[in-house]
A = this chain, B = another copy of it.
Amino acid sequence: MKYIAKVEVSLKPGHSDPEGETTRASLVELNYPVEDVRVSKVYKILLEAASIEEAKRKVEEMCRRLLANPVKDDYTINIEEAE
Which residues from chain A sit less than 8 Å from chain B, CB to CB?
A: 2, 8, 10, 20, 23, 26-27, 30, 32-49, 58, 61-62, 65-67
Contact = CB atoms under 8 A, between A and B. Distances in A.
A58 B35 CA distance: 14
Nearest to A8: B42
10 contacts: A2-B35, A23-B66, A23-B67, A27-B66, A30-B62, A32-B62, A34-B46, A36-B46, A37-B46, A40-B41
Contacts of A66: 23, 26-27, 30
Nearest to A47: B34
Given A8-B42, A30-B66, A34-B45, 15 more contacts: A23-B66, A32-B47, A32-B61, A33-B49, A35-B47, A36-B44, A36-B45, A36-B46, A37-B44, A37-B45, A37-B46, A39-B42, A39-B43, A40-B44, A41-B41
